[in-house]
A = this chain, B = another copy of it.
Amino acid sequence: MESRRTGACVAVGSELLGEDRLDSNSLLITRTLAKYGVQMVEKRVVGDSVDKIAEAIRELMGRVDMVVVTGGLGPTSDDVTREAVAKAMDRELAHDAEVEEWVRQRYAACGRVMPEIARRMARVVRGARSLPNSRGAAQGMLISSEGRMLAVLPGVPWEMEEMLRLEVEPELELWAHGVRRVSRSLLLGGVYESEIEERIEPLYGSLGRENVTILAKCGVVRIVLSAEGEEAAALRRVTEMEAALCELLGDDVAGVNVLNLEQVVLGELQRSGSTLAAAESCTGGLLSARITDVPGASAVFLGGVVSYSNDVKERVVGVPRELLVAHGAVSEPVARAMASGVRDEFGAGWGLAITGIAGPTGGTEEKPVGLVHWAVAGPGGVTAMDRVFPGDRPTVRLWSVHSALDMLRRRLVEERP
């Protein structure tokens, strides 16, 4: 096999060089290129300067097979990516009447008159293919040069994503001559990265270590398997790899090619025709927010209670006052009562509860910062677990949400109707 094609991306925008923002467009670009066997080898962020953008494009076009530039295509005087591309490629920048008409219509469609300044968006680098933007007024550009490709896309993610999919992917497909890099991801819950590494180790010989990537975050581990080649063969290979890993890892595998645990849990609930309600203390709504971030969650998620105070735990979730007094709000009996209480109160098939101390203060010797109890109430009864999680407040909250979701997932699988 010849060596892999390489790619690089350049994010343009002084706001991406400040103290607050990161370029995140590069993630989807990396994923898209990888599908066609193009490996990302460098990422850059540069400010709104013709010279700096041109310099980056020129250097990268000399090093890699494909460069994707995002941002700097808008109508204001800061937006100089078109000029920079022309300079880097040593080509003319010409006004295109057709593109201007298209831009004019985009403005008209929003009930606005195209400002004179927006005519700048109608300039196209000689020899470039203009890429229509179905979600904005700035067109993109695609340039082929000496077997290399330069794609220039808007910086707004919502616009960039659509253009990458509709305009750049078909070109990549042609370019790849049938070679595909097929990936598959296994999502695992309730496990640690080091433990998974150890269990997988014996398989590295047959899978190929370079084809297995392990990513972990607060109790959720993702294993990404890849194979490259002719599409059908690569698919077969990756399916074999998946089967080998699933056999090895058993119930720890929450799902294949799923985004997250909440998606798995919602799918299980949907298939079993059941519903869920949540009661949260230290996670303060994060569990519900994560669940409802999945489109369509409303079909099975009835709602939740954020019971930050004991009074709310008692009145809204129905936790008996005696339990709160005897064991304290952060305790296994209270976690269990919250799960049962919210299940009853909301008339749900399942109740999920979390109570703990997220920190940075509020810990005691007996109940340190990071101590979290979680519980699941369902048709088969109530189960509970606890742990002292390491890290700061957001980290403890994330560990808590992942742990609770994973416990529910395992119960849903065990008690499938």
Chain A residues packing against B (C-beta within 8 Å): 15-24, 26-27, 30-31, 34, 40-47, 52, 56, 59, 158, 213, 215, 222, 224, 278, 280, 283-293, 295-298, 301-309, 311-312, 315-316, 345-347, 359-362, 391-395, 397
Contacts and interface: CB of A to CB of B under 8 A. Distances in A.
A283 B288 CA distance: 9
A21 B215 CA distance: 9
A44 B44 CA distance: 4
A-B interface, 10 closest residue pairs, ranked by CB to CB distance from nearest: A284-B292, A285-B288, A285-B285, A285-B289, A304-B306, A286-B289, A43-B45, A303-B312, A303-B308, A19-B31
A306 B278 contact: yes
A295 to B, nearest CB: 5
A41 B46 contact: yes
29 contacts: A15-B213, A15-B215, A17-B41, A17-B42, A18-B215, A19-B31, A22-B23, A22-B27, A41-B47, A42-B44, A42-B45, A42-B52, A43-B44, A44-B44, A158-B391, A278-B306, A280-B285, A284-B291, A284-B292, A285-B288, A292-B306, A293-B393, A293-B397, A297-B308, A302-B308, A302-B309, A304-B305, A305-B306, A316-B346
Nearest to A287: B285
Given A295-B393, A303-B305, 18 more contacts: A15-B213, A16-B43, A19-B224, A22-B27, A278-B285, A284-B288, A284-B289, A284-B293, A284-B297, A285-B292, A286-B292, A288-B289, A295-B361, A303-B306, A303-B307, A303-B308, A316-B316, A316-B346
Contacts of A222: 20
Contacts of A346: 309, 311-312, 316
A286 B305 CA distance: 12
Contact of A309 (B43, B303, B311, B345): B303
Contacts of A308: 292, 297-298, 301-303
A279 to B, nearest CB: 10
A51 B361 CA distance: 45
Nearest to A17: B40
A361 B391 CA distance: 38
Nearest to A397: B293
A310 B295 CA distance: 18
A347 B169 CA distance: 55
A397 B133 CA distance: 25
A62 to B, nearest CB: 11
B17 A43 contact: yes
B361 A20 contact: no
A224 B303 CA distance: 39
Which residue among A291, A307, A308, A395 has the maximum number of chain B CB atoms within 10 Å of its CB?
A: A308
Which residue among A284, A296, A297, A392 has the maximum number of chain B CB atoms within 10 Å of its CB?
A: A284
A72 B290 CA distance: 32
A22 B27 CA distance: 8
A297 B362 CA distance: 12
A395 B222 CA distance: 26
A293 B401 CA distance: 13
Nearest to A59: B59
A19 B34 contact: yes
Nearest to A312: B303
Which residue among A24, A306, A307, A392 has the maximum number of chain B CB atoms within 10 Å of its CB?
A: A306
